[in-house]
């Protein structure tokens, strides 16, 4: 009887493959070429948003990072105390955050950060907080 129970249990568990422990369940993929951010939860696309990344003379780094820290009402120490609400920091001073310069969303305009509409930034910030920083990944590609 014990053997039959274990056989059924193993068969049931095999239907749900485990994710590697290092896999993030919240991923924001930013495309520099299309100026968009796709947010996936557990592999399912939840959102597609316009962004603004680095304008000429500045750089938005390419790569993949876990989220490092959150700041609800951050202000830039480097750029004249500029507002960076709903900031999700991922690489030093680089963050995904809200902008009030809405007319430039969808084209390069920042000093290197990834800018979002305030509503979208607030949603991403809440998701990152909910999922946890170690389960939130920011991926930036060409």
| Contact predicate 76/65, CB 8 Å | no
Pairing of strands 36-41, 94-98: unpaired
Catalytic residue list contains 111: no
Q: How far apart are CA 128 and CA 80, in angstroms?
A: 27
Q: Which of 74, 111, 113, 131 is catalytic?
A: 113
Annotated catalytic, 74?
no
Q: What are the backbone dihedrals phi and psi of residue 27, each rounded to the nearest 5 degrees, phi first?
A: -125, 130
Catalytic residue among 74, 97, 111, 131: 97
Name the residue among 30, 67, 32 with its Cα closest to residue 48. Answer: 30
Identify the burial level of 127 via C-beta atoms within 10 angstroms of its C-beta, where 0-12 means exposed, 13-18 middle and 19 or more buried.
middle
**DSSP-based three-state secondary structure for 62:** coil
Catalytic site positions:
97, 113
């Amino acid at each position: 009887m014990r053997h039959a129970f274990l056989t059924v249990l193993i068969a049931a568990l095999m239907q749900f493959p485990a994710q590697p422990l290092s896999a993030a369940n919240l991923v924001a993929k930013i495309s520099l070429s299309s100026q968009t951010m796709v947010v996936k939860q557990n592999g399912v696309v939840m959102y597609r948003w316009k962004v603004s990344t680095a304008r000429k003379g500045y750089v938005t780094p390419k790569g993949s990072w876990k989220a490092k820290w959150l700041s609800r009402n951050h202000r830039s120490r480097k750029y004249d105390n500029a507002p960076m609400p709903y900031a999700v920091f991922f690489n030093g001073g680089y963050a995904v955050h809200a902008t009030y310069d809405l007319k430039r969303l969808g084209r390069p305009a920042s000093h290197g950060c990834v800018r979002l509409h305030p509503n979208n930034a607030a949603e991403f910030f809440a998701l990152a907080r909910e999922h946890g920083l170690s389960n939130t990944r920011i991926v930036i590609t060409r």
